[in-house]
Amino acid sequence: MTAKWPLLAKALAPLKQASASLWNSWTAAVLLIALLTMLPVLVVLSSVFTNSSDVWAHLAETVLTRYILNSLGLMLGVGSGVLLLGVGTAWLVSMCRFPGSRILEWALLLPLAAPAYLLAYTYTDFLEYFGPVQTTLRSLFGWEGVADYWFPNLRSLGGAIALFSLTLYPYVYMLSRVTFLEQSSCTLEASRALGCTPWRSFFTVALPLARPAIAAGTALALMETLNDFGTVQYFGVSTFTTGIYRTWLSLGDRTAAAQLAAVLMLFILVLILLERWSRRQARYYQTANRFQSLTAYDLRGWRALLALAACSLPIGLGLLLPGGLLLHMTVTHADQTLDSNFWPLTYHSLLLALITAGVVSVLSLILAYGVRLQNSPPMRFGVRVAAMGYAIPGSVIAVGILLPVTRLDRAIATGLQPLGISVGLLISGTIAALVFAYSVRFLAVSLSAVESGLAKIRPSLDDASRSLGYTPTRTLAQVHAPLLSGSLLTAVMLVFVDVMKELPATLVMRPFNFDTLAVQVYQYASDERLIEAAAPALMILLVGLLPVVLLSWQIAKARQG
């Protein structure tokens, strides 16, 4: 083109130089975001090389083994629970037809809206000795006390496993169901033609093909399990998150807390590596006619009733029963639940969620569009690093941020002191550090939504915009942003809800006299004031239902298509 059109090439040279310069600035922005999101991890990992304190030696001798065993027990139990519930229900609603299956295929996602700690507080009140269940049993059978009967103890490792399984199985269900629907119909029909029963076809054909999706969903559920604080603390199950909280706030040893966080990071790393290893060199291919309709198994009689019960039970126990109990407590004790603190706490939670959702959506747009402009290895690496935050527990992020931020606050205060200026805790004493922690934790959630939306926009639109003289930034603002409105709205909604119910990082990092609904629920429940905790817990549950209902509607719509 230069040889044929020298004048045109000369005229376009400034535009090319400006574009290259702008692309470099996008690269710098992406790498800077990646560095900031990796800061908590780097700080925590650097604590490994710090001289161990007496507190760490004491923790290693007394409770570290318990933390490890309880964490392993939770991972094993929750992994088994979410696999059983998620894969089983996904197969039933995808490949079988029975009364209510069309409704259940989207309703099975609803328990994802309920944080496990809300179920822990609600079920404890419902199943305790003076609760309605045991009181009714004693009345019916004439039992006088605990010596006359045995009742399972919910506040235990087994109880935590059960509640985590009820709230986290939708991760496995969602990915498994999509995989079952997209599997090659001719493969499954061939297995039937060869005489495979439905069970044998499931175990020998469908399940191996769905293994990557099942492994990914299970890994997400286990990461959420390791991140939890409210449930395990309330049930008295000592894990790394409870240990980090106690070491930081009760013992006042930040170095030991950071070293505990580093050990927890090791658990996360092993979990990610195991998920990758489970797929290792396996390849899973689908044929071109995979979307051909597959004849579903028509269940009748007791089989239909059993399938209906198996799919309805997780919804009832994971959402309907605890939601109904919270609603009942809120309505019948409105004078205690809707106190003067409820609306200020709601405002705090909404403010944090809105600010974080806006910040994270902008960062996600920068990352996704930066890779679209320059799909180079450094850019892709930066984006993948920035998306690692979702795998990091909130307690680890809190420790990794507060350590450098408090030092920076002290340095600023010391530097301004000779000038007679007192700024106090400029960063750690405000919501700025908390918003930063939320952004690191939930950036991956927003990024996945923005990337999927951006991938649907044809590259020819970029070329047409550039030919009209638009810069990449102007193209993003006037071409891509309007087309991404749906994806951006989804990203904002997902991050908004995650921030509303986030507890571990909020407990450690919240500014003085700035509580949220999640913190208030935790504090009330810790004081055994479950009636006062009902209204804020119900608010968290209702807000959490919004994106889940939207996702369920999209699944139902896609199924019709």
Write down the pTM of the prediction. Answer: 0.82
**At the top level of CATH, which class does the domain 23-52+333-526 belong to?**
mainly alpha
Domain ranges for the chain, please list them: 23-52+333-526, 54-108+154-281+300-330
CA distance linking residue 520 with residue 503, whole number of Å: 10
Residue 488 amino acid letter: L
Tell me the pLDDT of the chain (561 aa) as tens digits.
444 455 545 554 544 544 444 456 778 888 888 888 888 888 888 876 776 667 777 888 888 899 999 999 999 999 999 999 999 998 888 888 888 888 888 889 889 888 899 999 999 989 888 888 888 888 888 887 777 788 888 889 999 999 999 999 988 898 888 777 766 555 666 666 666 666 666 666 666 777 777 887 888 888 889 888 889 999 999 998 998 888 887 777 778 888 888 888 888 888 777 766 766 545 544 444 444 455 667 888 888 899 999 999 999 999 999 999 999 888 888 777 777 788 888 899 999 999 999 999 999 888 888 888 887 787 888 888 888 877 788 888 888 888 888 888 788 877 777 777 766 677 777 888 899 999 998 988 888 778 877 877 787 777 787 777 777 778 878 887 788 887 788 788 888 888 988 888 888 888 888 889 999 898 888 888 888 888 888 888 888 887 777 766 766 665 555
CA distance linking residue 535 with residue 309, whole number of Å: 30
pLDDT of residue 106: 83
Tell me which residue of 2, 43, 10, 27 sits closest to 372, measured CA to CA: 27
Q: Are strands 297-298 and 96-97 parallel, antiparallel or unpaired?
A: parallel
Domains 23-52+333-526 and 54-108+154-281+300-330 share a fold: yes
pLDDT of residue 287: 47
Q: How many CA atoms lie within 13 A of 183 on its CB side?
A: 27
421 burial via Cβ count (<10 Å: 0-12, 13-18, 19+) = exposed
Which region holds residue 128: left if phi is over 0, alpha if psi is between -120 and 50, else beta? beta
pLDDT of residue 385: 82
Statement: 54-108+154-281+300-330 belongs to CATH 1.10.3720.10:
yes
The answer to whether 399 touches 437, Cβ cutoff 8 Å, is no
Q: Which residues of 223-262 are buried (b: 16+ CB within 10 A; e: fewer)?
A: bbbbbbbbbbbbbebbbbbbbbbbbbeeeebbbbbbbbbb
pLDDT of residue 197: 63
